[in-house]
A and B are shown apart, each in its own frame.
Chain A
């Protein structure tokens, strides 16, 4: 309790049984009554730790005593306190107690006692144990008591087992045993057990003294042991067990055979040459008490005996070679230990030709023998096993001659299947001429089929479970072979998996044939070693970028597939999945791109285009041929021969015809400076009229910028020619040969070699080159009479054209030409020049001006030094002869 001076709780140190009612009373001491006045009974409250007990459970005994009654459970926590609330707010503890709680002990039950053996005597103590029952949750003592006719023993513990120590354990007299359980809440006594302690003995295991074999008795071993205790203390019955050393399965001798008080026993029906282990245990012969532990195991080997069973033999017949001999592989199983009855030292193989009766025999040590035997003869193979004690029964098989292989098998069908972790085979057969069946199985691989095992089945069985270690994912070829009178008949085989798995590898695409919208794929066959199951189907998955994957499934025997409806010129990723019943395995990915054009599509386009082109060319050629005169007229116009010029004849000092080359200047420069010659005949009225008309009609063309200047070619199709022809149609009569068909206005101070005069002088140029320099130096263009141009490239030509047409665009082609501007130009450039003279004659034809204008056209060198210089320089040019052809004009 808590030390407080104002009151006390009774009981002071309570021990309460859980789940029972508990009452405590708080008594206020007299000297505190004044302190609490009369409020004690009213203001008192009980608490279990922090839990306040409801007031309904209080009972007021008097002004200074209040009790509380609760159903005490384990949820109520210590301490129980009695408190008072002073002035309705101040908690005042009066007293507190700690309650011990738990359960009273239950009656101990299942009291069992054991008297152990100690060496060759009984122990001097008895051990007992019992079941305590429910947990008491508080200290509980258990007193084990025992009593004889004149002695009493006891020992105490708080667990459920105990030991009673004695000077000597009484035997052949009865003792009483019981247990008393006691704690603060009560006492419980177990039932009394009355027993002779000898009936509680657990003896020590017997000690095996001998475990011996007798040489002539291969199935017999004798065991001898010692009794654990003298017979005057206890008689025993025994229990014997034995096992072959390599197994954990014990065989127990029936208890009836060993219930007597014996010390030896003979184990019989044992396997020869087998190591056996044996152990013995014992207990009171009356069956009261406990079995001892098994004795330490003793081992002994039974003597050998001759093999008791014939060998399981079979054969694998190979193909015959060129010499007509077959490879017959005779195989047999080593005898199991329990049949071999000893160590097999050698196998004797006997081969006998049933036709010629040839016979040979030899010994081998392994379990297979390869024989080269003629396919024309039947042979009997006999194999026996030898150990130190003798030989096994003969095992025989007859290999028929090979032409017998054509005979039909009595087996009609077989169905191998796996079930419950075993491989089963069912077959249908005509068993009339069958002695027994041999079911063999081999593993199918790329290299062939290697025999795994075989087993014999009698003729009546049409199904069996194959006794072998079948592995998943391996293909087995299971054959049922009937044997009739030792002659093996043709077998019937089926392939089967014990358990299918997914293929180890997926198919790899080995060929593809791409089209514009399809592809033909071919994949390689998966090796049987990697199949792991029968192929159920192949699934081809293909996917283009940014498209969903599609698939197509084909049968197990297909190795090709054509994927249609593909997009052209698209890359596809493909893989093929081979599926067995266990699942599928994907092969490696294959990427290809469909063709952009289908085969022949390009040809279909190119050929017509070429044909069209050829057609157009041919048409053009025909046109040209038909219009050759006109073309010739345009391309190679009639050039007046200066030689035939009348001026030659007209001039008095004209050189003779033979002395004057047409290339040479017709006349010396100085000789013509003083003349103005007008050849009317070459510029007759008709020509002028035509040219004029044409020129008038072509005005629009001149405004176009399509006709750039260029070197005149000979082709009628050439653009420069076109340009020229377009612009110079009216000038054809005056045009010189192809090398001189361009007329160019050349400023006298070309390339700045001279200073232009303020009034620009135009002169005919014989150059066939476009005036590119002027393009490169547009700044010089300003020097051409301050002509403002937007495109210097056309400047020379424009000038030329203007010079020739007189109504040109003035270097700015898009700008429409008007006569005012032309007039202004003339006013600027050529003072006093008549505009009329330009209306019907090009600049080239300037040599054919009206007579009254000749002086004006021919600029006097005195007034035009630049021009003069130009003329001088032109004399040195290689094409001067051409120029000179004009000059006379």
Chain B
């Protein structure tokens, strides 16, 4: 379990590192040297288990996300936020139902302290700031989801459990939304290290934590949907997107 968590962490880090590297060195699909060090460390300590992961990481390392940015990123983001929002309500309900008796049947009672969510209404902010806020929040949500999945796994939920499945789908889509938002940003967002979730002791607290994350996630998505809806197409046409477009057009 520890290995998995460590690996996951490394993967995430590798992605971020890779992304940062690409920004600096155009689109060369090479692995940055810090990441390589990390991989070597992994291979050194966990040679048997890490081999498959290495391939995935290498693949991730080769990914050049900027190729995927299109002018439709705004619409896609809005639609994806809508999708996530509609699924989030189901997810919260599913999560609460899965926690068994004694657990509050309303998400409103889930008021644990959870970091990473914006304070206030993000739609009130200027577009770039809003987008950046959305982006970082989505990153934080991803981390929270990972924690919840881990907790569920620790609690013995099978991988095929509907809650787990929905969480995984949501987690992937959150990352997709983050990628879309990133495409919408004029300036690439700074690579901020997302702090790891605080280890929560006690199952009930973990459940409350999960419930709170999902509630906040749903509330956040409501803001995102509203915020992205206000975005006009012209506003979304940022230099960042244009630059990627120009690069794609130059491709043979």
B172: interface (CB < 8 Å): yes
The residue of chain A having its C-beta at the shortest distance from the C-beta of B12 within the complex is A150
A158: interface (CB < 8 Å): no
B109: which A residues are within 8 A, CB to CB?
A: none
A173 and B80 within 8 A (CB): yes
A149: which B residues are within 8 A, CB to CB?
A: 63, 65, 68, 175-176, 178-179, 182
B173 and A152 within 8 A (CB): no
A230: which B residues are within 8 A, CB to CB?
A: 86
B72: which A residues are within 8 A, CB to CB?
A: 174, 196
Number of interface residues of B (CB under 8 A): 33
Given A149-B176, A167-B169, do A174 and B70 touch, yes or no (CB 8 Å)? yes
B80: which A residues are within 8 A, CB to CB?
A: 171-173
Question: Which residues of A in the span 144-197 have a Cβ within 8 Å of any Cβ on B?
Answer: 147-152, 154, 167-168, 170-176, 192, 194, 196
A233: interface (CB < 8 Å): yes
B82: interface (CB < 8 Å): yes
Stretch of B33-41, B54-62, B124-132 that contacts chain A: B54-62
**Chain A 190-234: CB-based contact to B (< 8 A → 1; otherwise 0):** 001010100000000000000000000000000000000010110
Given A152-B59, A194-B67, do A170 and B83 touch, yes or no (CB 8 Å)? no
Question: In the docked arrangement, what's the CA distance between A149 and B65, Å?
Answer: 5
A174: which B residues are within 8 A, CB to CB?
A: 68-70, 72, 76
A232 and B179 within 8 A (CB): no
Contact of B82 among A151, A154, A167, A232 (CB under 8 A): A232
B169 and A168 within 8 A (CB): yes
B63 and A150 within 8 A (CB): yes
B180: interface (CB < 8 Å): yes
The residue of chain A having its C-beta at the shortest distance from the C-beta of B87 within the complex is A232
The residue of chain B having its C-beta at the shortest distance from the C-beta of A233 within the complex is B83
B146: interface (CB < 8 Å): no
B70 and A152 within 8 A (CB): no
Question: In the docked arrangement, what's the CA distance between A800 and B179, Å?
Answer: 168
A232 and B65 within 8 A (CB): no
A152: which B residues are within 8 A, CB to CB?
A: 56, 59-60, 62-63
Question: Which residues of B in the span 149-205 have a Cβ within 8 Å of any Cβ on A?
Answer: 165, 168-169, 172-173, 175-180, 182
A232 and B168 within 8 A (CB): no
The residue of chain A having its C-beta at the shortest distance from the C-beta of B179 within the complex is A149
A150 and B175 within 8 A (CB): yes
**How far does the Cβ of A12 sit from chain B's closest Cβ, in whole Å?**
32
The residue of chain A having its C-beta at the shortest distance from the C-beta of B80 within the complex is A172
The residue of chain A having its C-beta at the shortest distance from the C-beta of B165 within the complex is A167
B172 and A232 within 8 A (CB): no
A151: which B residues are within 8 A, CB to CB?
A: 60, 63, 172
Given A149-B65, A232-B86, A233-B83, do A170 and B173 touch, yes or no (CB 8 Å)? yes
Contact of B76 among A147, A173, A176 (CB under 8 A): A173
Question: In the docked arrangement, what's the CA distance between A167 and B68, Å?
Answer: 20
B15: interface (CB < 8 Å): yes
B176 and A148 within 8 A (CB): yes
A154: which B residues are within 8 A, CB to CB?
A: 59
Question: In the docked arrangement, what's the CA distance between A450 and B193, Å?
Answer: 100
Question: In the docked arrangement, what's the CA distance between A372 and B83, Å?
Answer: 82
A172 and B65 within 8 A (CB): no
Question: In the docked arrangement, what's the CA distance between A172 and B177, Å?
Answer: 8
B77 and A194 within 8 A (CB): no
**How far does the Cβ of A480 sit from chain B's closest Cβ, in whole Å?**
70
Question: In the docked arrangement, what's the CA distance between A148 and B60, Å?
Answer: 9
Question: Which residues of A in the span 622-656 have a Cβ within 8 Å of any Cβ on B?
Answer: none
B65 and A150 within 8 A (CB): yes
Question: In the docked arrangement, what's the CA distance between A33 and B15, Å?
Answer: 63
Given A152-B56, A230-B86, A232-B79, do A173 and B63 touch, yes or no (CB 8 Å)? no
Given A167-B169, A168-B169, A233-B83, do A148 and B59 touch, yes or no (CB 8 Å)? no
Question: Which residues of A in the span 113-163 have a Cβ within 8 Å of any Cβ on B?
Answer: 147-152, 154
Question: In the docked arrangement, what's the CA distance between A170 and B79, Å?
Answer: 12
Question: In the docked arrangement, what's the CA distance between A385 and B34, Å?
Answer: 94
**How far does the Cβ of A547 sit from chain B's closest Cβ, in whole Å?**
91
A173: which B residues are within 8 A, CB to CB?
A: 68, 76, 80, 176-177, 179-180
B180 and A172 within 8 A (CB): yes
Question: In the docked arrangement, what's the CA distance between A170 and B172, Å?
Answer: 8
Question: In the docked arrangement, what's the CA distance between A230 and B82, Å?
Answer: 11
B173: which A residues are within 8 A, CB to CB?
A: 168, 170
B62: which A residues are within 8 A, CB to CB?
A: 152
B60: which A residues are within 8 A, CB to CB?
A: 150-152
B79: which A residues are within 8 A, CB to CB?
A: 172, 232
A176 and B169 within 8 A (CB): no
B76 and A172 within 8 A (CB): yes
Given A175-B68, A232-B86, do A167 and B180 touch, yes or no (CB 8 Å)? no
**Chain B 76-117: CB-based contact to A (< 8 A → 1; otherwise 0):** 110110110110000000000000000000000000000000
B83 and A150 within 8 A (CB): no
**How far does the Cβ of B186 sit from chain A's closest Cβ, in whole Å?**
18
Question: In the docked arrangement, what's the CA distance between A168 and B60, Å?
Answer: 18
Question: In the docked arrangement, what's the CA distance between A370 and B15, Å?
Answer: 96
Question: In the docked arrangement, what's the CA distance between A192 and B59, Å?
Answer: 16
**How far does the Cβ of B142 sit from chain A's closest Cβ, in whole Å?**
10
**How far does the Cβ of B176 sit from chain A's closest Cβ, in whole Å?**
4
Question: In the docked arrangement, what's the CA distance between A167 and B173, Å?
Answer: 11
Question: In the docked arrangement, what's the CA distance between A172 and B79, Å?
Answer: 6
Given A149-B63, A170-B172, do A194 and B83 touch, yes or no (CB 8 Å)? no
* 9 tightest A-B CB contacts, nearest first: A149-B179, A172-B80, A152-B59, A173-B176, A149-B65, A174-B68, A172-B76, A168-B169, A172-B79
- 16 A–B pairs (Cβ distance < 8 Å), ordered by A: A147-B63, A147-B68, A148-B179, A149-B179, A150-B15, A150-B65, A167-B168, A168-B168, A168-B169, A170-B173, A172-B180, A173-B177, A173-B179, A174-B76, A232-B83, A232-B85
What would 15 more interface pairs be, CB under 8 Å, given A147-B59, A172-B77, A232-B79? A147-B63, A148-B176, A149-B178, A151-B60, A151-B63, A151-B172, A152-B59, A172-B79, A172-B80, A172-B83, A172-B177, A174-B72, A174-B76, A196-B76, A232-B86
